[in-house]
Structure formats: C-alpha cells, structure tokens
Amino acid sequence: MAKQYSSEFKMEAIKRVESSEGSIASVAKELGVNTNTLHGWLKKFREKPDVPFPGSGKLSTDDELIKKLERQIRDLREENEILKKAAAYFAKNLK
C-alpha cells in the first residue's frame, strides 16, 4: 500500500520547492519522498491552488456536486416507488 501524506506535509514540500530552497529532487530526497510523487503534488497544486489535495472529508467542488446529485436521485427514486405503491393501492380500492 502506498504511503499516505497529510495535506499539510504536501503543502510544506511545495513551499520548499516554490521558495527555491532546493530543487525538486533535493527536496524530495530530504523529505524521503519519491521525486515523481513531488512532481505530482506540484501539478495538482498548480491546477487547483485553492483546493489542491481534497480528502480527509474535503471534497472538490465537482465531487461534492456529484454526491449531492446522487443523493437527490436516490431520494427521488424512493419517493417514486412510494407513489407507485400508493397509486396501485388506491386504484385497487376504486373497483
């Protein structure tokens, strides 16, 4: 299993690289992180600097919207089933 790093750890690594305290390779070696991993963190940070590492209960805006819509779909399907049963019940009693 891959090692998990906290968002704070990732941000500290990015700050070190961004502040030119060293090259990506030297910062990665100093922190005990694979160079490619640090490159990936930098890419994510540059793509979404406001929320670069969603996780630990923090969803990206798109993921949050998807969860909300999935919940609405589930609720609407449940309501639809209830209405079908009610309609069948009342139709049976009309005869």
pTM over 0.85, yes/no = no
Give the per-residue pLDDT at 10: 86
Read off the pLDDT band of 26 (50, 70, 90): confident
Q: How open is the CA angle 74-76-79, to the nearest 5 degrees?
A: 110
pLDDT beyond 60 at 23: yes
Give the per-residue pLDDT at 56: 52
Q: What are the pLDDT digits (tens) for 30-77?
A: 888 899 988 888 888 888 777 677 665 556 677 778 889 999 999 999
Nearest to 31 by CA among 59, 3, 72: 3
Give the per-residue pLDDT at 57: 52
pLDDT beyond 70 at 24: yes
Give the per-residue pLDDT at 55: 61
